[in-house]
Structure 1
Amino acid sequence: REQVLQMFVIGILVSIGLSLILASTIANPLSDLAAAAEAGRDRNARKMSPGRVRIPDLTARPDEIGRLSGALRGMVAALYDRIEANEQFAADVAHEIKNPLASLRSAVGTMRVAKRDDQREKLLEVIEHDVIRLDRLVSDISNASRLDSELVKEDEEDFDLLKMLGNLNEFLGEQARDKGIEYLTDLPKESINITGLEGRLAQVFVNLITNAISFCEDGDAIRVWARKRENRVLVVVEDTGPGIPDGALTKIFKRFYSERPEGQFGNNSGLGLAISKQIVEAHGGVIWAENIRPTDADITSDPLGARFVVGLPV
């Protein structure tokens, strides 16, 4: 009986010890993670602590709790990044809409005191231009705001990238030639199949080529070529236009930034390249711009044109 009692007491002590160990290594960390997640959900808790939600950092643990902590921290960081991006986008939209509205307000106010018909006609042209600009801006903003959800919801499919580029070249090449621009293509004979959203990627190349057409004049040339490099395919759009100002190379992919000739002011929202970058990166690719120069040794030489490169995984 004494041995049974000793075994029983030892069993109880071992059970208590294991319970304490499990509580300190599993239950308590899980409770801390749950409390931090609930603090972000509960409005009253957010009022008491208005700062960011802090998920305990348990990533040093090699077990599932460490993985869970890392996943929660990454999810919270992604949510805050999205919130900040939406706030910045709303601020940019408000700023961009105010410009044509201010111009409209000024034109309408001036029209009331304008006496000559030629002055009124000129003000009507300004009003019409600003209304078209607002309509284009709102449409582009609507497309940009839906892009994230559409990239997630749409199903990716295998398609022939070169076939898609060939169709675009046939259509856009006519536009370029009508403007007196030479349109050249250099695509591999063998097909290159990739997985992605064909319509969205077509939107990227349409934007790059139409941009090149808008910057070129009679006598200029545009060249579209593609090459496959191991697990990547590079699609390049080159033109012999004025090139990109050096200070704009790091800005042209930002939302609402537009570097246009004086006669084309207000004809673009500045969202095209930003949307293109977002689409390419959603496909695991990269996009960049550079100037074509006579020699790489002299970066101060005048550019011979602009080059946009899109790299996509195969």
Structure 2
Amino acid sequence: MMFFDKTTFKNLVKFKNMAHTAIINLVGLSVISGILIYMGFKNYLLFHSAVEIFSSLIGFGILVIAINTYKNSKNNSFMILGIAYGFIGVLDIVHALAYKGMGVFNSSMPLVDIPTQLWISARYMESISILIACILLRKSNKILRPRAILGRYMVISVVLLLSIIRWRIFPQCLIEGAGLTSFKIASEYIISLILFFSIVFLFKAKNYLDLSVFTYMHLSLITTIISEIMFTLYNHPYGLFNMIGHIFKVLSFIFIYKSVIEIGLKNPYKLLFNQLKEASDDLERKSFELDNASRRLQIQNQQRKYMEQILISNEQCYDLLIDSSREAIFVHMGGKIIFANEGLTKIIGAVDLKDVIGRSVLDLIPKDLRNKINKIMEERYNGVKAKSCYETKLVHDTGNTIDVEADSTYFSYKGMPAILTVVRDITEKKEVEKLKVDFEESRKRLSETLEFNKLITEFFSNISHELKTPLNVILGAVQVLKLYSRDDMPMYDMHKKYLKIMKQNCYRLLRLVNNLIDMSKIDSGFFKLHLSNYNIVSIVEDITLSVADYVENRGVSLIFDTDVEEKMMACDPDKIERIMLNLLSNAIKFTNPGDEIIVNMMDKEDYILISVKDTGIGIPEDKLQTIFERFRQIDKTIKRNREGSGIGLSLVKSLIELHEGDIRINSKLGEGSEFIIELPVKALIDEDSKDSSIMYESKVERIDIEFSDIYA
């Protein structure tokens, strides 16, 4: 009879779930591959552009996830992999644009060889990066700096592009009419060999990886090798082997994207839960130590009370009590010890009472506390205070210091002023107090970690939605274009419609990436303003009027009003545009046809006030306190009516604060919202004022990017 433990059962269930998911993915990928091959035979240029753009978007998504989850995952391998795939995506985009028929590059250039050279350089970068990532999986490396890795990849990419397009020193890969060069064929085999070694290192690190991460990386390496082999077999860029190679390349990108999703968005949860477990264990350990210390103190108090009862009942025990007391008891006159018990020798580590009698009291005190203790002793001797209790330190004969509590009482001995001092070792008491402080700090950290975990969970859920939705829309658009690619169907209107959808969702991804990058720059102190003296009224008016047609097409009225025609001040017009477009896009999102958006400017002498008010749906009162916090959203459900990542208003607040300004909100549910900006009026002394109408011009594309998450 065979028995299974719980762990074995869980692994079997997990394997079964993975197998079921793999079958579904395999069927889906097979269907998509068949559609792409059919598209390639009908219109190869469309097929090639769609494949390269899609794989590049995946590469950019890997870059965004790897960079923004590195603080939580602390995984150097996947950070390097994410940055590499971002720049590989750049090379692949240029590769697609360089194809003959795209019309981007000069027709006099060798448009057969350049795309192939760009392709092989991107594959070298991909294979070497994967090998480095697989080698680092088993090693316990120090934390790498993403900016340093990002800089290195940027330099390598720029050098490759210049050597291929500008300098023309990169080896030839494809000669028109003759086919692939020996360098190209040899390179594909070298790249496949590098990927094979990557598989070897991946298997060596198998125990360090989650099963799903290992599986996706393994599949990505296998599909990449198949892709490289396909590209050694074709003689013409529009051939079948070329198309199959491109499809396997897309599959490899999808698998590596899945592995980064696993390590970047799921494993940080495990990391956070481990931190919670460690904090809980630390809290439990300190609680146990606190209980033990409390029990020891309770036992000591019980013993002390017992000895006091003996002293009261039998005065003959007095001398014995003094000698056996754990507390140090001594008498001093004129600062010299004239009597002491064995307790004092134990506390300071003296061998015999002879080493104590006759010593100065100040010899037992650390040098930095002697002035304080000497002042206390003088007050006792002079009768200013008859009795006092205080905490201090004694010096042990080893040189260490001991925390003690002292009770001093004045009395007359043989007609001379003397002081009786009882000293208690309070080291354990101090430890208990420290444990209490540590206990409270641990409890506070645990509470903060739970709150941070909740916030991160909401962010990961939201960012996954924000990345997945545009990619799904773009893929759907590509599939619809394929359905309408038959000769008997009208193409122009359909292409125009779905290319617009694809462009809008690319803008959404670009807006999300820009916001994440800018927030990272602001957090790290690298985000700088470019201040000059401008007419702020003209800037805000131009921005507002530039979106008037867009707003009015949605049935919403846009009104701009000002009580001042000119106000020169130092500002960064690009950042002011970013602020205003974000607030206007928010107003549009939460208004309905027939509503109004009012932009008003008022001159308050020392500062300029800008108001963006709408008559839309408003914001609940309990959300107003968190509206400017990062990753916070009014509607956190997946099926929300308005898109957004929860970064925009936080970025707006940061940009306004960089201008030394402030922003606040007034809103009532069902009546609308008003964002009020206050910017201090300051001018650069050494710079002439600039005409904003000449120096500054709103960009249409920037408006499209900021309004990309608003659907018509």
* TM-score category (smaller protein): 0.5 to 0.7
What are the equivalent positions in structure 2 for 1:98-137 lying under 5 Å apart? 98=461, 101=464, 137=512
2:611 equivalent to 1:236? yes
Shift of 1:132: 9.4
Does the aligned pair in 2 maintain the 1:287–1:308 contact within 8 Å?
yes
Larger RCO (CA within 8 A; separation ≥ 6): 1
Change (3 A) 1:191 1:257: same
State which of 671, 674, 679 in structure 2 corresponds to 1:312: 679
Residues in 1 aligned to 2:537 and 2:457: alpha-carbon distance in whole angstroms? 40
Change (3 A) 1:100 1:220: same
Shift of 1:257: 0.9
Does the aligned pair in 1 maintain the 2:518–2:527 contact within 8 Å?
no
What are the equivalent positions in structure 2 for 1:69-218 lying under 5 Å apart? 96-98=459-461, 101=464, 137-147=512-522, 149-152=525-528, 154-218=529-593
Residues 243-280 of structure 1: per-residue CA shift (max 9 Å, x gap)? 11101111110001122497645721111110110111
Give 1:227's aligned residue. 602
State which of 610, 615, 626 in structure 2 corresponds to 1:251: 626
State which of 645, 668, 678 in structure 2 corresponds to 1:269: 645
Residues 126-159 of structure 1: per-residue CA shift (max 9 Å, x gap)? xx9x99987764442122112454543x431111
Shift of 1:307: 0.4
Shift of 1:206: 1.0
Shift of 1:164: 0.7
Change (3 A) 1:143 1:100: closer
Change (3 A) 1:221 1:274: same
Question: Amino acid of the residue matched to residue 207 of structure 1?
Answer: N
Residues in 1 aligned to 2:464 and 2:561: alpha-carbon distance in whole angstroms? 45
Does the aligned pair in 2 maintain the 1:289–1:308 contact within 8 Å?
yes
- Matched position secondary structure for 2:625: coil
Does the aligned pair in 1 maintain the 2:661–2:678 contact within 8 Å?
yes
Change (3 A) 1:272 1:89: farther
Residues in 1 aligned to 2:466 and 2:522: alpha-carbon distance in whole angstroms? 29
State which of 619, 640, 661 in structure 2 corresponds to 1:285: 661
Give 1:75's aligned residue. none
Shift of 1:238: 0.4
Residues 199-240 of structure 1: per-residue CA shift (max 9 Å, x gap)? 112211111111101111100000000001120110000000
TM-score (norm: length of structure 1): 0.54
Does the aligned pair in 1 maintain the 2:611–2:676 contact within 8 Å?
yes
Residues in 2 aligned to 1:144 and 1:281: alpha-carbon distance in whole angstroms? 13
Change (3 A) 1:305 1:156: same
Does the aligned pair in 1 maintain the 2:467–2:509 contact within 8 Å?
no
Find the structure with the greater CA-based Rg.
2
Does the aligned pair in 1 maintain the 2:564–2:602 contact within 8 Å?
no
Give 1:296's aligned residue. none
- Matched position secondary structure for 1:244: coil
Residues in 2 aligned to 1:217 and 1:303: alpha-carbon distance in whole angstroms? 11
Residues 109-128 of structure 1: per-residue CA shift (max 9 Å, x gap)? xxxxxxxxxxxxxxxxxxx9
- Matched position secondary structure for 1:249: helix
Change (3 A) 1:103 1:278: closer
Does the aligned pair in 2 maintain the 1:100–1:133 contact within 8 Å?
no
Give 1:3's aligned residue. none
- Matched position secondary structure for 2:520: helix
Question: Amino acid of the residue matched to residue 672 of structure 2?
Answer: G
Shift of 1:190: 2.4
Residues in 2 aligned to 1:159 and 1:93: alpha-carbon distance in whole angstroms? 40
- Matched position secondary structure for 1:236: strand
Question: Amino acid of the residue matched to residue 268 of structure 1?
Answer: G
Give 1:298's aligned residue. none
Residues in 1 aligned to 2:572 and 2:453: alpha-carbon distance in whole angstroms? 27
Gaps of 5+ in 2: 1-450, 469-501, 682-712
- Matched position secondary structure for 1:183: strand
Give 1:62's aligned residue. none
Give 1:66's aligned residue. none
Question: Amino acid of the residue matched to residue 179 of structure 1?
Answer: R
Change (3 A) 1:89 1:221: same
Residues 54-92 of structure 1: per-residue CA shift (max 9 Å, x gap)? xxxxxxxxxxxxxxxxxxxxxxxxxxxxxxxxxx99996
- Matched position secondary structure for 1:250: helix
Does the aligned pair in 1 maintain the 2:466–2:644 contact within 8 Å?
no
Residues in 1 aligned to 2:466 and 2:519: alpha-carbon distance in whole angstroms? 24
What are the equivalent positions in structure 2 for 1:294-305 lying under 5 Å apart? 303-305=670-672
Change (3 A) 1:90 1:187: farther
Shift of 1:172: 1.4
Does the aligned pair in 2 maintain the 1:236–1:310 contact within 8 Å?
yes
Question: Amino acid of the residue matched to residue 609 of structure 2?
Answer: L
Residues in 1 aligned to 2:452 and 2:575: alpha-carbon distance in whole angstroms? 21
Residues in 1 aligned to 2:559 and 2:581: alpha-carbon distance in whole angstroms? 15
Change (3 A) 1:289 1:150: same
Change (3 A) 1:147 1:242: same
- Matched position secondary structure for 2:530: coil
TM-score (norm: length of structure 2): 0.25
- Matched position secondary structure for 1:256: coil
Residues in 1 aligned to 2:547 and 2:654: alpha-carbon distance in whole angstroms? 23
Cα RMSD for the two superposed structures: 3.6
Residues in 2 aligned to 1:185 and 1:177: alpha-carbon distance in whole angstroms? 13
Change (3 A) 1:271 1:102: closer
Residues in 2 aligned to 1:197 and 1:89: alpha-carbon distance in whole angstroms? 34
Question: Amino acid of the residue matched to residue 593 of structure 2?
Answer: D
Gaps of 5+ in 1: 1-87, 106-127, 293-301
Residues in 2 aligned to 1:150 and 1:250: alpha-carbon distance in whole angstroms? 28
Shift of 1:196: 2.1
Residues in 2 aligned to 1:289 and 1:212: alpha-carbon distance in whole angstroms? 12
Shift of 1:183: 0.7
Question: Amino acid of the residue matched to residue 657 of structure 2?
Answer: E
Does the aligned pair in 2 maintain the 1:181–1:221 contact within 8 Å?
yes
Residues in 2 aligned to 1:89 and 1:136: alpha-carbon distance in whole angstroms? 25
